[in-house]
Amino acid sequence: MVGQIDDALDDLLLPYQFDLSIFTRITHSDLLDHIRWVGVALYEKTPVEAKR
């Protein structure tokens, strides 16, 4: 999934670079602290309530 998003962003030929990561899969504590301090979330998945 991250690879597909990365490819799609690259195809836009924007003058920016993106570093995409799945936050819950990052294990480096200093990187996690840095992201929490200055990171910008471009997308956050909200839980979907189960229909009954």
Percentage of residues in the chain with pLDDT exceeding 70? 100
The whole-angstrom separation of Cα 49 and Cα 52 is 9
Per-residue model confidence (pLDDT) at position 37: 95
Percentage of residues in the chain with pLDDT exceeding 90? 40
The answer to whether 48 touches 42, Cβ cutoff 8 Å, is no
**Ranges of each domain in the chain:** 2-38
The whole-angstrom separation of Cα 26 and Cα 2 is 14
User: Buried b / exposed e across 7-20, counting CB within 10 Å, b at 16+?
Assistant: eeeeeeeeeeeeee
